[in-house]
Structure 1
Amino acid sequence: MIGGITGIVLLIGASIYFTGGKSRLNVETERITVSTVKKGTFQEFIPVNGVVLPLTTIYLDALEGGRVEEKYVDDGTIMKKDQPILRLSNTDLELELVNQQTNVYNLLTQMQISRNASQQNTINNQNLMTDAENNLKEAERIYKLDKHLYAEKVIGSQEYQQAVNEYNYQLQKKKLMQQILEKDSLTNRQQLDQSQQSYEGSQNALKLMRKKVGDLIVRAPVDGQLTSLDAEVGQSIPKGTRLGQIDVLGGFKVRVDVDEHYISRIFTGLMGDFTFADSTYTLKIKKVYTQVTDGRFQVDMEFAGKAPKGIRRGQTLQIRLALSDETQALLLPRGGFYQQTGGNWIFKLSKDGQTAYKTDIQLGRQNPDYYEVLQGLQPGDRVVTSSYENYGDVQELNLKN
């Protein structure tokens, strides 16, 4: 009976010990990842992918529609400015050019006829003016002579009055001819100006039409490499169609896609780096495109220094885009533990390495390699950073080799 009572007491004590204390779990060390907390240089960055593009790209659009009659070069050709790329045909434009040329020639002929008529009218008026001046001189001579004779009572008042009337008539006639000549001169100048403006307008329209017909030959706007040429002989090209592009061979830039989560932290001047041919190169954000598409936005980065040799258009680069400067911090390697703990606690190994117990921590910034530890750990501490998915509410881990 004493033995039975003692067994019951031991059973109850064992039950209390195993159920009321900390829950433990045996874990094999080769199935977990143990990392060491250390002091080091921390920089917040995100990994992004960028595509190498020419520093300057000029797009080729069909300024006029037409049918492709001839291709002078192929895609990838190094072009010189104004070098022809392809030729289009458009009979409607060519017909409009012929009609415009005919209109200009007709207008020029009408201007010449109108100018000749104006000149002839001016000559006639000048002849009439000459006659009026001559008649006035003769009437003035007779008037002065008759005035003298009338004073000497050689002639009567009737004859003298006729001389006065004739002189006044010729004087008024000359004034009238002067007014006619002035108005004729003014009218001629106005007609000439109007005709000149009309002619210049027709000439400008003709130049524009010739330019439109000239645009049927697509030429390189700048020196560079022709890429993405999309046109074949016999193909009908609508007006405004993108035919290709000219890549200016003066340098490269990198077009980078960034998750919209970081849009408030991305600005011009941020730096990034990448490795190419066993060397590290630096990039700098030059332009930010704030438009978000499918949860991402784009930035343009330029090389801070010379671009690496051998880099090509369309090549993809893996870039570390820095979001902060380098600082000294307590570093905790990243791991699967974060998914279960949210960075609020972690299993820390004892000094002898036989157990790992739950420890509260506080994490700050992070990058793809490390978390920044703010509280709860010290340099040299060893912690379990692998996944805690199968641990449940276990408080301690018994580590077994």
Structure 2
Amino acid sequence: MDIPIEKKRFDAKKIGYIIGGLAILALIIFVLISSTGNSKLNVEKERISIANATQGVFQENIPVNGIVLPITTIYLDALEGGRVEEKFVEDGAIMKKGDPILRLSNTDLELSLVNQETQVYNLLTQMQISQNAARQNTINRVNQFTDVENSLIEAKRVYDLNKKLYDKDAVARQDLIQAENNYNYQKERMALSKQILAQDSIAVKIESGQAQNSYARTQNALELMRRKVADLVVRAPVDGQLTSLDAEIGQSKNKGERLGQIDVLSGFKVRADIDEHYISRIYTGQKGSFNYNGERYTLEIKKVYTQVTNGRFQVDMVFEKVAEGIRRGQTLQIRLALSDEKQALLIPKGGFFQKTGGNWIFKVSEDGNTAYRVDITLGSQNTEYYEVLSGLEPGDKVITSSYDNYGDVQELVLKE
């Protein structure tokens, strides 16, 4: 007798179809959940930097590099061109005002000095000859005046005598008239002699003054020429250290060419380069600070150079207190203050800014196991902190390290 065989409801093939369908369904559900929910990424805590948002004193500043320079630098230029004949000192020497540095030779200038001296001596000789001639002429005119004066006295005496004798009928009228005419003639000669002598005195004074002025001008020209020749010896204009001396024996230097410089050692200043972006916010009196040998020192801007070169401009800063042991040519890292101090919510600077632009940040949950995106608004910044205007509260923990590997992840799962 045949035994009926019960047909199985699920064979292996059907089971395979069911499992495959369930897998596809699970995948679809996962994709839907992933697209509608927050994407997550596991991150090890030791690979990230977590910082607190804190309330504190904030001052906007920028980092700038400065070079220590002497407080004053005097440049040495060739006042006259010439050939370097002798060097009295070498680069780096400590100089006193007036000490010779080097000597130039200039044959044309020295020959001009000789010609100028000869001209002065010739003019002086001519002046002496003219003065002697003027004195002799004055003597002759005085002698002539004396003769005329004597003739007038004699003519008056004869006239007065003849007049008395005529009144007594002792002389003829003809003699009286002759004596009177001679007397009047001598008076006219006397008046003319006085006029000539006065004009001669005026002419002598004018000629002497002109000669003196001409001599003085020639003397001034000679002194100027002597100073020009003396300038061939280059001397230190102030006390200080000779630096950047560029002159060798036998080398020719043109007039006005830079020979070197004298650095005044009474103090130092710092010349800093600043990005042109800040040029409208930099002014004299602003302060900066730097650390040196474990101490903090303050600088103040004394001069702003508004000329922009390669996107940067320069400022000169002076020390409120000079750091002991600081030397010319040292480079200092300075924090230049752009604002006054104020209270603000702060977060440390970090690599997150390059990814977010300061528009959002990962905030750590209270249990410390996750971190999620929050929108924030940042204000000013300095070398250490960002000023937070909104989005965070004091005590909030945020991730400040780089977000380059996070892509568009919305939430981080923090693992130990």
- TM-score, normalising length: structure 1: 0.93
Whether contact under 8 Å (2:48, 2:401) holds in the other structure is: yes
Distance 2:280 2:77 in 1: 36
Distance 1:310 1:12, change over 3 A: closer
Distance 1:277 1:163 in 2: 116
Amino acid at match of 1:387: S
Distance 1:113 1:270, change over 3 A: same
Distance 1:212 1:9 in 2: 103
What displacement does 1:400 show?
A: 3.8
Partner of 2:391: 376
Partner of 1:318: 333
Distance 2:19 2:42 in 1: 33
Partner of 1:224: 240
Partner of 2:157: 141
Distance 1:4 1:202 in 2: 120
SS in 2 for 1:129: helix
1:336 and 2:351 are equivalent in the alignment: yes
What displacement does 1:198 show?
A: 0.8
Distance 1:325 1:302 in 2: 20
Amino acid at match of 2:248: E
1:175 and 2:188 are equivalent in the alignment: no
Partner of 1:244: 260
Amino acid at match of 1:235: Q
Q: Counterparts of 1:381-400 in structure 2 under 5 Å?
A: 381-400=396-415
Partner of 1:352: 367
Q: After superposing the two structures, state which structure 1 stretch, 332-341 or 107-116, moved more.
A: 332-341
Amino acid at match of 2:382: N
Partner of 1:65: 81
Q: Counterparts of 1:53-132 in structure 2 under 5 Å?
A: 53-132=69-148
Distance 1:72 1:351, change over 3 A: same
Larger gyration radius, structure 1 or structure 2:
2
Amino acid at match of 1:22: N
Q: Aligned residues, how many?
A: 400
Amino acid at match of 1:101: E
Distance 1:311 1:114, change over 3 A: same
Whether contact under 8 Å (2:101, 2:235) holds in the other structure is: yes
SS in 1 for 2:350: coil
What displacement does 1:141 show?
A: 1.4
What displacement does 1:123 show?
A: 0.8
Distance 1:13 1:220 in 2: 90
Amino acid at match of 2:278: Y
Q: After superposing the two structures, state which structure 1 stretch, 109-118 or 5-14, moved more.
A: 5-14
SS in 2 for 1:347: strand
Question: For structure 2, which runs of at least 5 residues remain unmatched after alignment?
Answer: 1-17
After superposition, give the CA deviation of every residue in 1:132-156 in whole Å (9 maximum; x if it has no partner).
1111111111222222333344444
SS in 2 for 1:184: helix
Partner of 2:58: 42
After superposition, give the CA deviation of every residue in 1:337-365 in whole Å (9 maximum; x if it has no partner).
22232212212121122322221111111
What displacement does 1:130 show?
A: 0.7
SS in 1 for 2:363: strand
Q: Counterparts of 1:144-155 in structure 2 under 5 Å?
A: 144-155=160-171
Distance 1:48 1:86 in 2: 39
Q: Counterparts of 1:151-162 in structure 2 under 5 Å?
A: 151-162=167-178
Q: After superposing the two structures, state which structure 1 stretch, 44-53 or 345-354, moved more.
A: 345-354
What displacement does 1:10 show?
A: 7.4
Whether contact under 8 Å (2:335, 2:383) holds in the other structure is: no
